[in-house]
Structure 1
Amino acid sequence: MNQLKQIHAYSLRNGLDYTKIMINKLLEIPNIPYAHQLFDLMPERTSTLYNKLIQAYSYNGPQKQCFSLYIQMCRRQIFPNPFTFTFLFAACTSLSSPCLGKMVHAHFILSGFKFDVFVLTALVNMYAKLGLVELARKQFDHMLFRDTPTWNSLISGYVKCGNMEEAETLFKLIPFKNVISWTTMISGYSQNGKYLDALNTYLLMEKEGFKPNEVSIACVLPACANLGALEVGKTIENYARRKGYMDNLFVRNGFLEMYSKCGKLDRAMQLFNEIRDRKNLCSWNSMMMGFAIHGKYEDALQLFHVLLREEMKPDAITFVAALMACTHGGKIAKGQELFELMNYKFGIIPILEHYGCMVDLLARKGKLNEAYNLTQTMPMKPDSVIWGTLLGACSYHGNVKIAEKAAEALFELELSNSGNYVLLSNIYASVGRWDGVAKMRKMMKGSLIAKTAGYSYIEVHDEMHMFIVEDKSHPRSNEIYSVLEDVYCKIMKTDYGNESNLYCQIDG
């Protein structure tokens, strides 16, 4: 920067014009204000220099400057080109302004560049990222030629609004997929809780010969964590280390979270310590949450205090992890202290998840009346998770009165969830309230509510399989049941002697 200032001073003293070179160099640094000052001193300005300044503001901000420059450009009768509109569409996206986006779109149409695939892709991308996916689709359908980035932009738009069905349809139709296409789908499945689809898409991407990048790995790791696909996760870690992706903090935090959720806390802690002074709050939260959900409440709370000693500022998720630790440790007093501390000392207003933790903490220790009273004094309405937690605690502690109140709230929130009816029926049965059991059965029958079949996952050779009881959907189900029958026979022989062969049958 000092060298550029010296060159600028030299050019002024000697009457030389290095302005264009100076502006280009300043935008590379970038020092946009200095470049803009030099630009304003130029008597003759070109569309190329306007575009470079607009691009710099579009990427680095403030984006509003892009439109000031564009207006100035039009007033000077310096005609824009397709690149001008590409950068303006990006600025509209950064400003989250559909109104500005539509105005720039109108100017683009009047300019006569409507068949330029590069700028049309930017237009589709803008509408998709602004959540106006119908307008993005309209532009997409009118394009005579589409390249892979165009398809990716629209797919990303559908992913963002949660329409994975339409995203899947488009993904299958792409003539030429790239890593971004696959990663967008993996990310979409993970964000929408379709973890098995996310993992299978990642594995298929590898099978098709595409090499996952850092973003692909960061997107698939939540799926591994939530499915408990530990072996697949280890394989991905080996690949990430070979490629040097472990230097990426997002990737390393993803592995940390995966090992934490899968119960490999020693490995998670090893990764946590490897990050050293590069740890961010996500690193601390993931490690704390791992300790909390696996009952290591003392370790979670100790980590919380270390975090405070290192002058890291906790956020809402940090306190969710801390309160969960108190819940699993049965530490009511500590939980109440933290619940008050978060607002009093750190200015964090409790949200639904924090109240959920407190209800769970009280309910687990049998303080069901206090837990119920908390649901009535919360500043927001309890959700199905909170009421479900209270109902589950009532089942354990045999409290029919509060169970009925929790179930009544759940029936309104989840009318077709059979599990709530079954749980309340079991609570009635545990105390001999057979009239209540009959009532639940009648309600389920009258509302045509069937008990939902539970399913399980099993990981075999880096692949996840989902199954239910007596499932025969797997193409090798006959072999599977044959092995199960053999295992069952051996168990019966061990427990009951040779005579158990008479009973060695599996109802397939």
Structure 2
Amino acid sequence: MNQIKQIHAHTLRQGTLSLQLLIQKLLNLHPPNLSYSHSLLLNSPSTSSFPFNKLLQSYSRHGPFSQALSLFTQIPSPNLHSFTFLFSACASFLRPLAGQSLHAHLIKLGFPLDPFVATSIIDMYSKTGLLQHAHNLFDEIPQRDTASWNSLIGGYARNGNMGIARDLFDAMPTRNVVSWTTMVSGYAQNGLYLEAVEVFLKMWREEGEVMPNAVTVASVLPACANVGALGLGMSVDEYARREGLIENVFVRNALVEMYGKCGSIERARRVFEEMGRSGRRNLCTWNSMIMGLAVHGRAGEALELFDEMRARGFTPDDITFVGVLLACTHGGLVHQGQNFFKSMEKDFSITPKLEHYGCMVDLLGRAGLLNEAYNLIKTMPMEPDSVIWGALLGACSFHGEIKLAEIAAEFLFKLEPWNTGNHVILSNIYASSGKWNSVAEAWRLMRGKQQKKAAGYSIIELDGIMHKFLVEDKSHPEYRDIYLLLSELMFIMRRQVDDEFNLDCGD
């Protein structure tokens, strides 16, 4: 600040040029000193829009929006850059009405709608949920650049309409890395993990000229995690290291999560330890590692890591406690889990969410404490969802508890009327207790719904290509060769069993 004060003194003697330098210095601080910059501008004789635009740009990133709007009205002669920065502020702070008014003001003043400004407006409409406005403006642009395509595609992807996003993507005359990354992240964020992987592979292998960046890699790794594409994930890891993307904390966090979910917990631990040596861990890193250890049944290590995280000065959040409670669940640590659950509000001011109650119901249910689990459900401050009742029903199935199973099933029938699997679980509980009349009634109710259980499927990765198979599936282009090989394997297995049987009889 001493240097800035010296520049300020110089500004008072020299005028606008030094003022611009001073404002630039103030805005480059971390965090930028917006109030000081604003005060300087209002008390200067400058009529140039440049320093106003620089400050407006900072307000569009850091806020508050009211100050951005106020500053815009004070610019002596706003230009297209001024409008662009305020459109960016409207997008960042979700102010669609202000954005519409600004668009109308731009038209009224007769400014030309060049591709750069048009893209900022499309981006504003897309991010504030006014997709039809964005699409209408997009259709009016005589010359669309790649950025305008990307903004509209991103808007549809954020709103979950991947069909239109894909149609636009396929229609693009040229694509850049942002275009591909928008599609990969859009599919992944909407739970379409297989599609995310397929688009990434097409970008990586078929296009060749446009290579993934750190954002692309961080977007595809969660998709790899959810479809179990360990081989592809490892290839992406190698690529990230080769291209220097591994230094990005989001890439490393995604690697920890991917390896953990794909069953390679030791690789996840190695990436985690690498991040510790470089000092790049954040709360997300700790959460991913704790969660990975928890789901692999390594409860002791997960809880030790939780203690280490706190000792290093990280404050746990609600996601941390999901991992901790899962660790207790998989480790059968009932008392520890109950203590952690109580400590959330008491020690960390974290209000338990549905996920935490679900973990506790699962923990108590697995331990056979079914009445305690049911009582916890009844005292929840929010309505239990299908996951909560499903956890109780699953525990009742394991322990053969009919009464609570019927209660849980009744709620599930209302919450998931399409899910015939709940009828199957209840009928199996009846069957294990010899209540055959109840079994018949459960199946009668299931048939009355006239719904089939969704077919199960498997996804297999081979040479970076994802293959999806249903039961008795014949949709794969090489299904004849696949079934021929399966027949040969079955023949070899039967012959080996017969040989061993004959050898045993001979002895």
For the aligned pair, the TM-score class normalised by the smaller chain equals: over 0.9
2:505 maps to what in 1? none
Would the aligned equivalents of 1:4 and 1:22 in 2 still touch at CA under 8 Å? Answer: no
Alpha-carbon distance in structure 2 between the residues aligned to 1:114 and 1:443: 66
Residue identity opposite 1:234 in structure 2: M
TM-score of the pair, normalised by structure 2: 0.93
Matches within 5 A, 1:110-125: 110-113=108-111, 115-125=113-123
1:268 maps to what in 2? 268
- Cα deviation, residue 439, structure 1: 1.9
Would the aligned equivalents of 1:26 and 1:32 in 2 still touch at CA under 8 Å? Answer: no
Alpha-carbon distance in structure 1 between the residues aligned to 2:367 and 2:165: 46
- 2:466 is paired with a residue whose SS is strand
Would the aligned equivalents of 1:123 and 1:136 in 2 still touch at CA under 8 Å? Answer: yes
1:335 maps to what in 2? 337
57-66 or 401-410, which moves further after superposition?
57-66
- 1:465 is paired with a residue whose SS is strand
Residue identity opposite 1:347 in structure 2: S
Flag structure 1 segments of 5+ consecutive residues without an equivalent: 501-508
- 2:44 is paired with a residue whose SS is coil
- Cα deviation, residue 117, structure 1: 1.8
Residues 245-267 of structure 1: per-residue CA shift (max 9 Å, x gap): 11111100110111111222221
- Cα deviation, residue 17, structure 1: 5.9
2:311 maps to what in 1? 309
2:94 maps to what in 1? 96
Q: Is the aligned partner of 1:381 residue 2:387?
A: no
CA RMSD after TM alignment: 2.0
Identity over aligned residues, as a percent?
A: 51
Matches within 5 A, 1:73-472: 73=75, 78-113=76-111, 115-207=113-205, 208-209=207-208, 210-276=210-276, 277-472=279-474
Alpha-carbon distance in structure 1 between the residues aligned to 2:255 and 2:447: 46
Residues 42-88 of structure 1: per-residue CA shift (max 9 Å, x gap): 32412334323322322343343222122123xxxx44222111111
Residue identity opposite 1:214 in structure 2: A
Alpha-carbon distance in structure 1 between the residues aligned to 2:104 and 2:111: 11
Residues 402-457 of structure 1: per-residue CA shift (max 9 Å, x gap): 11111111111111112112222222222222222222222222221112211111
Matches within 5 A, 1:25-44: 25-26=24-25, 29-30=28-29, 31-44=33-46
Alpha-carbon distance in structure 2 between the residues aligned to 1:134 and 1:379: 39
94-103 or 243-252, which moves further after superposition?
94-103
Residue identity opposite 1:164 in structure 2: M
Q: 1:494 to 1:100 in 2, by over 3 A?
A: same
Residue identity opposite 1:191 in structure 2: Q
- 2:58 is paired with a residue whose SS is helix
For these two proteins, the number of residue pairs brought into alignment is 495
Alpha-carbon distance in structure 2 between the residues aligned to 1:221 and 1:242: 16
- Cα deviation, residue 315, structure 1: 0.5
444-453 or 214-223, which moves further after superposition?
444-453
Q: 1:83 to 1:425 in 2, by over 3 A?
A: same
Alpha-carbon distance in structure 1 between the residues aligned to 2:496 and 2:35: 82
Flag structure 2 segments of 5+ consecutive residues without an equivalent: 503-507
Residues 177-202 of structure 1: per-residue CA shift (max 9 Å, x gap): 11111111111111111111111111
Alpha-carbon distance in structure 2 between the residues aligned to 1:159 and 1:45: 42
Alpha-carbon distance in structure 2 between the residues aligned to 1:32 and 1:344: 38
Would the aligned equivalents of 1:26 and 1:35 in 2 still touch at CA under 8 Å? Answer: no
TM-score of the pair, normalised by structure 1: 0.93
Alpha-carbon distance in structure 1 between the residues aligned to 2:24 and 2:333: 60
- 1:350 is paired with a residue whose SS is coil
Residue identity opposite 1:480 in structure 2: I
